[in-house]
Structure 1
């Protein structure tokens, strides 16, 4: 039986590099030879069994990645992708931390020549999240924005996007080197949450800029700090929990008398509610903005067999950029043969 190397999560936080059968695509699916896959925060919580989508163990982790389609299970869309470089998204079944992955053809986007394999690997999670954030900002007519963890991959992406759209954004970080990092990008409003006067400065900027929306991936006491500092009729969207603490510190009067609110935001739920045309439009917006505005900083690359080192590096250097897993390709004596219009991967 034809096999490949893949990271297999056999129990929570227990994974290993194993030799497993190469999957076969069904109707509407394609087989992709993976070239790069990022480590996202959602992947890390998935390893712990804490992500919103629960998969049956054992499974191959990895939410997204990029590679070349080498086989179609059938269907016009799948056939049109064979031989093409694509970004892929795997929210069901096995994921992208493998040499090959099967994905729905609808969850693949053909990459343009301007988009590198590395940028394509990070096509979905952060860029589409930034697109959704911008849609919220514009649809709800917010004049200014606040974000926490602004030195993160999505933080820098949203910063560039807001600058591109001429929307003021207050960027909250927790270390001085992160302040310098955002200054290099051109951020005009940066607050260090470790400073003694942080809350006073946050309140001042919120009022001066009329910032009525915040995107918070820290949670804990930070959510309360945001709500208490912001103007009337403000909303804080919580989309992560880097603090690993329950939300706290909210003044009830802010909710009762100032019409402020806290809402959870999960990209999976948002995209599930969108139709095919909306998803197609979002993908095209990412394609247009990805080379510059929605680009991802890449800090380091690791082979699949070095996942422990990759995870350790990522946890210690999350502000430096994304960590990519680069699957080691199966030896070159493999070839692809056509069969009745459906390509079959033949492993000798």
Structure 2
């Protein structure tokens, strides 16, 4: 089978498409014939050796995929051959087959194709746990989403609207803001030439945003502290800008602000039921038409490096998906 492998940390050029044996499932494991793979920002960090976890070399990147169950190991009871599933793994998704524990597989609902399913769990799961469990977003509150046309940002726009919030989208171009508007943003801020702080205060009649969703960090984080409401919650998702910011404690004290972290992947090890319950809710919202996943690029598995580059260089909106050539 084809698999994309990283042979050295530090550069996307260290990725190659290799022929490797098809893996066999062990006890409690399932082999999935992969149809599509979702690319995430973390994949690029992992290849560079900059992620929280560094798998031993060589490794197959990729956190999520979707496909058809082909074989089950001893003791598997939740799925059977022929089932359509989405898979969440620590590594190994960039391949024509993957093996995963059965509790890392989620049934794909009727009406959702497998390419869409591959784009769904990480970004929607991240935003839902961030906004519902961590930030406790309430109906009627104002949610400011940075990077609002990106992989996680666009899902935060949709989920915020589904939860009854007024959504302000910030992004770096009119084209990206147009995508956010189509997915439910009620107000738009182009921070490449608008004053972010002034516009948020204008939109909220001087009050500021109740919840701020920040996958960008850097200067955007700094400005967020100055346009957040009394008792607001700023949720830290990542640092796409490249700079990890520091929060002045005096600002937190004076405005009674909470700065909250969200490393969604940790729930898969520490409290996997949180992930399962969240995805159950999200798949239900998808079935109700509340969520409309946006995929800007579909590439062949062999183009994995180019796909990661699209995310790194902010040339994509929503998700980038790799396909293996299989059809349903």
Provide TM-score, normalisation by structure 2: 0.89
Q: Tell me the equivalent position of 1:191.
A: 189
Q: Tell me the equivalent position of 1:327.
A: 324
CA contact (8 A) 1:206 1:230 kept: no
In the alignment, the residues of structure 2 paired with residue 105 and residue 82 of structure 1 have an alpha-carbon distance, to the nearest angstrom, of: 12
1:91-110 matches, cutoff 5 A: 91=90, 94-110=91-107
Match of 2:276 among 272, 275, 280: 280
Q: Offset at 1:58?
A: 1.0
Q: Offset at 1:74?
A: 1.5
Larger mean CA deviation between 165-174 and 308-317 belongs to 308-317
- SS of the residue corresponding to residue 15 of structure 2 reads strand
Q: Tell me the equivalent position of 1:332.
A: none
In the alignment, the residues of structure 2 paired with residue 72 and residue 154 of structure 1 have an alpha-carbon distance, to the nearest angstrom, of: 32
Q: Tell me the equivalent position of 2:292.
A: 295
- SS of the residue corresponding to residue 299 of structure 1 reads strand
CA contact (8 A) 2:213 2:235 kept: yes
Larger mean CA deviation between 187-196 and 287-296 belongs to 287-296
- Which consecutive residues of structure 1, in runs of 5 or more, have no partner in the other structure? 330-348
Q: Offset at 1:324?
A: 1.5
Note closer, same or farther for the CA distance 1:58–1:71 as it changes in structure 2 (3 Å cut): same
Note closer, same or farther for the CA distance 1:252–1:111 as it changes in structure 2 (3 Å cut): closer
**Bigger Rg over Cα:** 1
Q: Offset at 1:210?
A: 5.4
In the alignment, the residues of structure 2 paired with residue 147 and residue 90 of structure 1 have an alpha-carbon distance, to the nearest angstrom, of: 27
Q: Offset at 1:28?
A: 0.8
- SS of the residue corresponding to residue 226 of structure 2 reads helix
CA contact (8 A) 1:69 1:81 kept: yes
In the alignment, the residues of structure 1 paired with residue 219 and residue 267 of structure 2 have an alpha-carbon distance, to the nearest angstrom, of: 26
In the alignment, the residues of structure 2 paired with residue 153 and residue 138 of structure 1 have an alpha-carbon distance, to the nearest angstrom, of: 19
Provide TM-score, normalisation by structure 1: 0.84
Note closer, same or farther for the CA distance 1:146–1:11 as it changes in structure 2 (3 Å cut): same
CA contact (8 A) 1:137 1:213 kept: no
- SS of the residue corresponding to residue 295 of structure 1 reads coil
Q: Does 1:46 align with 2:41?
A: no
Runs of 4+ in 1 over 6 A off after TM superposition: none
Q: Tell me the equivalent position of 2:77.
A: 77
Q: Tell me the equivalent position of 1:151.
A: 149
- SS of the residue corresponding to residue 213 of structure 1 reads strand
Match of 2:264 among 254, 264, 267: 267
- Which consecutive residues of structure 2, in runs of 5 or more, have no partner in the other structure? none
Q: Offset at 1:217?
A: 0.7
Larger mean CA deviation between 24-33 and 145-154 belongs to 145-154
Larger mean CA deviation between 102-111 and 192-201 belongs to 192-201
1:1-348 matches, cutoff 5 A: 4-12=1-9, 13=11, 14-77=14-77, 80-91=79-90, 94-136=91-133, 139=136, 141=138, 143-206=141-204, 208=206, 211-247=209-245, 252-274=249-271, 276=273, 278-291=274-287, 292-316=289-313, 318-328=315-325
In the alignment, the residues of structure 1 paired with residue 183 and residue 279 of structure 2 have an alpha-carbon distance, to the nearest angstrom, of: 25
In the alignment, the residues of structure 1 paired with residue 106 and residue 163 of structure 2 have an alpha-carbon distance, to the nearest angstrom, of: 25
Q: Offset at 1:149?
A: 0.3
Q: Offset at 1:232?
A: 2.2
In the alignment, the residues of structure 2 paired with residue 141 and residue 182 of structure 1 have an alpha-carbon distance, to the nearest angstrom, of: 21
Q: Offset at 1:118?
A: 0.8
In the alignment, the residues of structure 2 paired with residue 275 and residue 306 of structure 1 have an alpha-carbon distance, to the nearest angstrom, of: 32
Q: Offset at 1:29?
A: 0.5
Note closer, same or farther for the CA distance 1:162–1:310 as it changes in structure 2 (3 Å cut): closer
- SS of the residue corresponding to residue 284 of structure 2 reads helix
